[in-house]
Amino acid sequence: MSEHDAAVLARIRQGSLYTESEAAFLAPQRRADLIFDYNQTRPSDTDRRRTLLEQILGSVGARTVLLSPFHAGFGSNVHIGDDFFGNVNLTFVDDVEIRIGNGVMIAPGVTLTTTGHPVHPDLRVDFRRFSEPIVLEDKVWIGSNAVVLPGVRIGYGSVIGAGSVVTHDIPPMSVAVGVPCRVTRAITQDELRGRV
């Protein structure tokens, strides 16, 4: 890796601004053709789908279900634990790492985006952007059409309501909803009685 590329990578990891041209050296990590192939496979072809997921993702746990179609900027920066369920139209904007724990469920139409752009238009030349990792801890459930923004960590067992836009960290064992997403209550042992 050249000194220039190493310096750009360091800026990316620090959450600083970088341009499309500066980050072009990362292009070989994109898995667009493999993602296309995955999205064209038959749902019943589980062996082929598993093989493709292992080629696309940075790491993938056991008993993973990812329904088609899904989309990813790279794919190689996504790490999924065991017992994952991702419903249709899941989008990973994974310019940097997205780490998903065990037992996570994601409903249809969810976007996990590690990347944003500056507000001032003069700073968006050459698609200038910043990227910060996303972490979904074990047993998180994200409702339909939610968006998780750069740098967010969602704590163990938390539930994100449908349509929410998650702009900041959510503590463990919380129900959080809204735009912007806010914690509305804690999840307690009383929930074990049934649907709440």
Strands 59-60, 78-80: pairing kind: parallel
> Annotated catalytic, 117?
yes
Q: What share of the chain is helix, strand, coil (3-state, %, to 5)?
A: 25, 30, 45
From the candidates 4, 71, 79, 117, which is the catalytic residue?
117
Using alpha carbons, select from 45, 108, 50 the residue that is nearest to residue 80: 50
Instruction: Determine the Cα–Cα distance for residues 80 and 59; give it in Å rounded to an integer.
Output: 6
- The strand ranges marked E within 73-138 are 78-80, 85-86, 90-93, 98-100, 105-106, 111-113, 115-116, 130-131, 134-136
Q: Please list the active-site residues.
A: 117
